[in-house]
Structure 1
Amino acid sequence: MHAIEELLVRQACAELIALYALLNDERRYEELADLFTEDATLFRPSSPDQPIRGRAAILEAFRKRPDSVVTFHVTSDVLVEASAAGVVQVRSKMLMFAATRGEAGSNKAPVAGTFHDTVVSTPDGWKFSQRRGALVI
């Protein structure tokens, strides 16, 4: 991979991770689900041993989130490694703040976690084929 191409891939992956957090926090779940390939697998940080398989199932899982829950995700330390043509491995960290809407003092303790992703090039851009989260703190 040429240096310019590598930089473009790194930027695309960093934007994919940032967009995932933004769409999650804004409850724009249809757009969030479109960040995944049709056959993708998601392992949520809160339940890393329970795979959610397929874009439709991922969308349904997010739609089950209670309307009263408000989240704020911060992502960092995005590291991208090419593993094959059109496939990259991405590691990142996240910090999530959560509260119940309209309830003063309902803030929960922040949680910190990691994501290990397999991201693939598609005709529609870079997408998650696997997203594996884990809580650290």
Structure 2
Amino acid sequence: MNPAERRDIELDCARLINVYATLNDQARWEDLVALFTADGLMTRPTAPQDPIVGREALLAAFRARPPRTTQHICSNIVVTAETEDTASASSVILLYVDPDKPPLVGTFHDRFVRTDGVWQFSERRGGLSFQPLP
């Protein structure tokens, strides 16, 4: 792949990370789940040992959350184009949920695939960098 193709892949995948955060904050679960491949895997930063696999399971997991107001802030996004149709990334996430508590600080390690010209998450593995205060 040439440098322009590499930059396009990196930009498309970084955008996917930001779109995920936006849809999550808007509680647009169907649109969010569509960002994953049919067999996509995700672990929440607060439950990295509990993978959720497949769009149906992802949708059920998001819908099971109690209603809440959140603000996700993504940072330090580094995407690596591996091939013309695969990439990986790491990023830092701040999650604000409760105005009386500090935000959760975590990371995501992502795997992306491009199918029919569309980039999607094949894996989104989260973890916490710091444990929340009691």
Q: TM-score, normalised by structure 2?
A: 0.92
In 2, Cα distance between equivalents of 1:96 and 1:127: 22
Quote how far apart the aligned CAs of 1:124 are. Answer: 5.4
Of 57-66 and 106-115, more deviation after overlay is shown by 106-115
2:114 corresponds, among 121, 134, 137, to 121
Quote how far apart the aligned CAs of 1:108 are. Answer: 2.9
In 2, Cα distance between equivalents of 1:72 and 1:52: 22
Equivalent residues in 2 for 1:36-51 (5 A)?
36-51=36-51
Identical-residue share of aligned pairs (%): 42
Which residue in 2 is equivalent to 1:102? none
In 2, Cα distance between equivalents of 1:133 and 1:38: 19
Which residue in 1 is equivalent to 2:54? 54
In 1, Cα distance between equivalents of 2:103 and 2:12: 27
What CA RMSD, in Å, does the superposition of the two structures yield over aligned residues?
1.2
Quote how far apart the aligned CAs of 1:123 are. Answer: 1.6
For residues 14-67 of structure 1, give each alpha carbon's deviation from its aligned partner in whole angstroms, at most 9, with x where no partner exists.
110000000000000000000000001101101000000101100110011111
Quote how far apart the aligned CAs of 1:81 are. Answer: 1.4
Which residue in 1 is equivalent to 2:23? 23
Moved over 3 A (4+): none
What count of residue pairs does the alignment treat as equivalent?
130
Q: Label 1:124 to 1:49 Cα distance change in 2 as closer, same or farther (>3 A).
A: same
In 1, Cα distance between equivalents of 2:126 and 2:15: 18
5+ residue gaps, structure 1, are 100-105
In 2, Cα distance between equivalents of 1:39 and 1:114: 22
Contact 2:75–2:91 (Cα < 8 Å) also in 1: yes
Q: TM-score, normalised by structure 1?
A: 0.90
In 2, Cα distance between equivalents of 1:63 and 1:113: 22
* Structure 1 residue 90 corresponds to structure 2 residue 89: yes
5+ residue gaps, structure 2, are none
